[in-house]
Structure 1
Amino acid sequence: MGRVRKVLTGQLVVGALVVAVAAAGFGLYWFQPWKLWQDETVEEALPGIVETSAPPTVAPSTAPSESASSATGPQALASGELISHEHATSGTVKLVRLADGSHVVRLENLDTSNGPDLRVWLTDAPVKEGKAGWHVFDDGEYVSLGKLKGNKGSQNYTLPADIDPARYTSVSIWCDRFDVSFGAAELAAA
């Protein structure tokens, strides 16, 4: 009887260890806690802007007017400042129409936590401060513009051609795995 009890106890201990290791492995995969210490910085130029080391030289009498040059380059249609939700988040969001008529959402000076499965969403939801704003962005209409390229820096996200940007009023850095906003910005006309 004592030998049977020792065997059963040993099997229970081994079984419990197997379950604990499997649970720990799943938890590490699901939460990816190491991302809290890994920053990914992405610095992209705004499409359509050519950076030069020296300003172009143009004779004063032939210089184009400021309105003519801005009409052919990228034009900010709306912008807003990111506020924090689940994680401390800051930076500026701009909705930009490019010279070819396409649109991009531009994140400038983004600073947020890294996390699993972060996305950039263009939404019609109102931006609410604090915990009230954590879960509102999947309640209405939204368009995922793709995975967040980096949790720091300036980056561009192209809108699909069939999307009318006027229908959307905010941008969220959305954690698709946990259905929560890391941060969001209300878009106001520029």
Structure 2
Amino acid sequence: MNKPRSINRLRSVNRLRSVIRTHKTLAAVAGVLVLSVVIVGAALFQPWRIFTSSSVYEALPAAPGSASAPAPATPPSGSASAPAPATPASGSASAPAPATPPLATPAAPVVLSSGTFQSQEHETTGTARLVKLPDGSHLLRLEDLASSDGPDVKVWLSSLEAGGDWFKYRSGRYVDLGAVKATHGNHNYLLPAGTDISGLTSVVLWCDRFSVAFGSAPLS
């Protein structure tokens, strides 16, 4: 009479062990999946950048220096000095002195447009200036920039208005000037040769990985 009960009890124990083994396998698989998600998310979002910052301070390229006029030659000590030019006789017409051409003054960088940054996805302050250099090239200068660190942040010149909905910037014309050099400071970004600057009305700090604008500045 007790034999069937013992068999049933043994079967129940075996089933319980099987369930525990199955749950251990599922738990291990779930743990691996969670760990994978955490690793991938950390690689994409890089959350530690919330607590990091960097600074770069670059000077605005200066105009080339003017060449100084050569100093007059001085005869060596003890040598005979050159004869003085003859003085024209009284009443005769004197030859006019040759005109001295004025020294050329080098051109200076010219600010074409500028604007103040406004915050969008992250707090951002500073000034953006579009500058024409003496050689005819253009650069974008960011001054007193203060923003947040982030993955894949680029500097864009955009044809769209600064501020507002930041997801709009991909739909407009833009010129990618490369990765932002630092979260703080004064930076220079040369525009590619032949860039058509007409219609580019704003500067955007753009997180290319997640299509988010950290901040933007109008150019006017």
Taking the aligned partners of 2:52 and 2:142, their CA distance within structure 1 comes to 19
Q: Which of 156, 174, 179 is residue 147 of structure 1 equivalent to?
A: 179
CA-to-aligned-CA distance 1:52-83 (integer Å, 9 cap, x gap): xxxxxxxxxxx989xx55xx121111100000
State the Cα distance separating 1:12 from its structure 2 match: 0.5
Structure with higher Rg: it is: 2
Matched, 1:177 2:189: no
| Equivalent residue number for residue 46 of structure 1 | 60
SS of the aligned residue for 2:169 comes to coil
For 2:139, the aligned partner's letter is: V
**1:137-157 deviations in Å (ceiling 9; x for gaps):** 111100110001101000011
RMSD: 1.8
What amino acid sits opposite 1:171 in the alignment?
V
State the match for 2:137 in structure 1.
102
- Larger strand fraction of residues: 1
Task: Tell me the amino acid that sits aligned with residue 174 of structure 2.
Answer: Y
| Equivalent-residue separation in structure 2 for 1:181 and 1:64 (angstroms) | 48
Letter matched to residue 86 of structure 1: E
Normalized against structure 2, the TM-score is what? 0.73
Higher RCO, Cα 8 Å, sep 6+: 1
The aligned residue for residue 136 of structure 1 is: 168
1:166 Cα deviation after fit: 2.1
Residue pair 2:60, 2:188 contacting (<8 A) in 1 also: yes
Q: Residues of 1 paired with 2:154 and 2:139: CA distance?
A: 15
- The answer for the alignment partner of 1:160 in structure 2 is 192
Deviations 1:73-101 (A, max 9, x none): 21111100000000000000000011111
Paired position in structure 1 for 2:44: 30
Tell me if the contact between 2:63 and 2:134 (Cα under 8 Å) persists in the aligned partners: no
Task: Determine the structure 1 residue equivalent to 2:123.
Answer: 88
Equivalent position amino acid for 2:138 in 1: H
TM-score using structure 1 length: 0.84
- Determine if contact 1:127/1:133 at 8 Å carries over to the other structure: no
CA drift at 1:127 = 1.4
Counterpart AA for 2:111:
A
Given that 1:123 and 1:169 are in contact with CA atoms closer than 8 Å, whether structure 2 keeps it comes out as yes
